[in-house]
Chains A and B, each alone.
Chain A
Amino acid sequence: EAQVTQNPRYLITVTGKKLTVTCSQNMNHEYMSWYRQDPGLGLRQIYYSMNVEVTDKGDVPEGYKVSRKEKRNFPLILESPSPNQTSLYFCASSRFDFNGQFFGPGTRLTVL
């Protein structure tokens, strides 16, 4: 089954404790991306990657890091989480023709 998986689905952590949210896709997609969704703000792109070892900033990259060492994986790293990073996070992937971007199920992150 074609899918994008994210782990964990729910996470409660404390300020300053480094965390990683994993994202993996099994469709051999070139394009992968991370978004955060906040009430009243819609979805905002954090980082995206066009292919292995190629990443670029979206609209809200501050406080986040990503890496793309393998085509299927695109982890999101929060080196020192802060309460303003409490949000719902989505990973997504697609082919280069963008004929359908597949989204993961979301990760609900709470930073205390």
Chain B
Amino acid sequence: AQTVTQSQPEMSVQEAETVTLSCTYDTSENNYYLFWYKQPPSRQMILVIRQEAYKQQNATENRFSVNFQKAAKSFSLKISDSQLGDTAMYFCAFMKHSGGSEKLVFGKGTKLTVNP
């Protein structure tokens, strides 16, 4: 079974600085997706970024980028120029893509606080 590990339960960063959230996963699959989701205090789940395992290029979305290391099974999220609105729980997630069994597995989350 696939597992996703987020080793940092809580992190904090000063406004305008850069922070990196860690995520590792365990799988024997070769074809899969990885995601980062953000959950602000409103509890709404918001997709931040998505990576397809077959793509070597790291995904970026504005101030958010990932460092995808397939061999190391690592998928970290970098937030540049942190803003107060980035304060939230961040969840890393894994989905096997096997044409009929698309289960989604989440890590336990990292609580990020951006300080003014």
Contact = CB atoms under 8 A, between A and B. Distances in A.
A78 interface: no
Interface stretch (B13-21, B69-77, B94-102): B94-102
A42 B50 contact: no
A42 B106 contact: yes
Contacts, number: 52
Contacts of A92: 45
Contacts of A90: 45
B104 interface: yes
B103 A98 contact: no
Interface residues of B, number: 22
A90 B43 CA distance: 10
Contacts of B105: 45, 59
B29 to A, nearest CB: 14
Interface residues of A, number: 24
B56 interface: no
Interface in B57-116: 91, 93, 95, 97, 100-109
A33 B95 CA distance: 13
Contacts of B45: 43, 90, 92, 103
A99 interface: yes
Contact of B50 (A31, A40, A100): A100
Nearest to B42: A105
A42 B101 contact: no
A49 to B, nearest CB: 10
A103 B44 contact: yes
Interface of B: 33, 35, 43-47, 50, 91, 93, 95, 97, 100-109
27 contacts: A31-B102, A33-B104, A35-B104, A41-B108, A42-B91, A42-B109, A43-B45, A43-B106, A45-B103, A45-B104, A48-B103, A56-B101, A56-B103, A58-B103, A59-B103, A98-B33, A98-B50, A98-B95, A98-B97, A98-B102, A99-B50, A100-B47, A100-B50, A101-B35, A103-B45, A105-B43, A106-B44
